Amino acid sequence: MMMDEAQEPSPIDPRNRLNDLSGREWTYALRSVISTRYPTRGPEAYAHHLRRLHPSPKPPQLMAELVRFFTKRGGHVLDPFAGVGGTLIACSLEGRSAIGVDLSEVYAACYAEVCATLEIAPQPYIIGDSRHLQRYPAITAQRFDLILTDPPYAQMLAKPKTGERKKRGQGAATPFTDSADDLGNLGYWEFLSALRDLFANTIPLLRPGGHLVLFTKDLQPSPDHHNMLHADIVANLRDLPGLEYRGYQIWHDQSQNFYPFGYPFTFVANQVHQFILIFRYRP
């Protein structure tokens, strides 16, 4: 269904305590595949030329859609894996307040430069380890409506690429940081367990009825495991006290390149999508 801009906006249901969307906007936001091709140049690129310093920056427009669905104007958002600020920029655009945390001073500095370029006030950004958020009173002093975040995809980016991408000279590993505290430098099962511990401490920072929305990608299957990281994350988090798994949406990123993986021998998936996993906190 496409929104018809010519139609009058439909009213907001007075019982709606989640967001400021009309019934029509709500219905559109529920589509199971969000397919996008955001510009990487010009004002709609939101300083992509700076943000591309990061190996996996999230488009602010995409994060803004989620912010609009899972919060009301003036809502509070936490991103414990903030990178160069996809979530934080979205919150500035949508009139929400946010706090970001990331291990990397380089990404924090990049976010500050992006804000200066876009002429938006930077949201608070803590350089630190999100496994220990209780160290930061600025975070523990409030309750959030939404944790919107994009953790590492286990070790996906910390490993050199093989096959077609290696042949094309694009095989270098692109770890987020070289820190031992970086969850992206952990093996698959260690990563899952660290992520679970992190969210066990972080979920109680949500207000009752608040949401955890997180991005992830699957890894290629190996002989010993399917490596559907999205399914393993759900299985690992869904029994945290008060956390209810609500389902997922798929983000289809049309700007991703296709490679002839496996050609001419066997099927190898070319992943041009990510999973957006949605949980609600009902303590």
Ligand X SMILES: C[S@@+](CC[C@H](N)C(=O)[O-])C[C@H]1O[C@@H](n2cnc3c(N)ncnc32)[C@H](O)[C@@H]1O
Answer for which of 184, 192, 243, 249 binds ligand X (CB under 6 A) is 184
Rounded to the nearest 5 degrees, what angle is found at the Cα of 282, between the Cα atoms of 67 and 97?
Answer: 30
Q: Among residues 46, 70, 144, 176, which is the contact residue for ligand X, using CB under 6 A?
A: 176
Binding mask 228-247 for ligand X (x = CB under 6 A): --------------------
Output phi, psi for 101, to 5 deg.
Answer: -135, 135
The whole-angstrom distance between residue 131's C-alpha and the CA centroid of its chain comes to 17
**Per DSSP, which regions of the chain are E strands?**
33-36, 76-79, 97-102, 125-127, 144-149, 206-216, 243-253, 273-281
Stretch that binds ligand X, among 39-47, 101-109, 225-233, 239-247 (CB under 6 A): 101-109
Binding residue (CB under 6 A) for ligand X from 25, 113, 164, 181: 181
146 lines the binding site for ligand X (CB under 6 A) = no
Q: Which is nearer to ligand X, 21 or 57 (CB)?
A: 57
- Pick the piece of the chain touching ligand X (CB under 6 A) from 6-14, 29-37, 51-59, 238-246: 51-59
Contacts of 98 (CB under 8 A, 6+ apart): 76, 77, 78, 79, 87, 88, 91, 92, 123, 124
Position 107 contacts ligand X (CB under 6 A): yes
Q: Which of 75, 83, 122, 210 binds ligand X (CB under 6 A)?
A: 83
Chain CA centroid to CA 280, Å: 16
Give the C-alpha separation, 78 to 63, whole Å: 12
**Nearest alpha-carbon partner for 268 in 159, 162, 160, 171:** 162
How many C-beta neighbours within 10 Å does residue 79 have? 29
Give the nearest residue (CB) to ligand X.
83
- Rule CB under 6 A: is residue 69 a binding residue for ligand X? no
Query: Does the protein bind ligand X through residue 202 (CB under 6 A)?
Result: no
Q: What is the DSSP letter of 43?
A: G
- Size of interface with ligand X, in residues (CB under 6 A): 26
Of 23-31, 125-133, 242-250, 254-262, the window that binds ligand X (rule: CB under 6 A) is: 125-133
- Asked if 130 interacts with ligand X (CB under 6 A), we say yes
Per CB under 6 A, residues contacting ligand X are: 54, 56-58, 81, 83-86, 101-104, 107, 129-131, 150-152, 176-177, 181-184
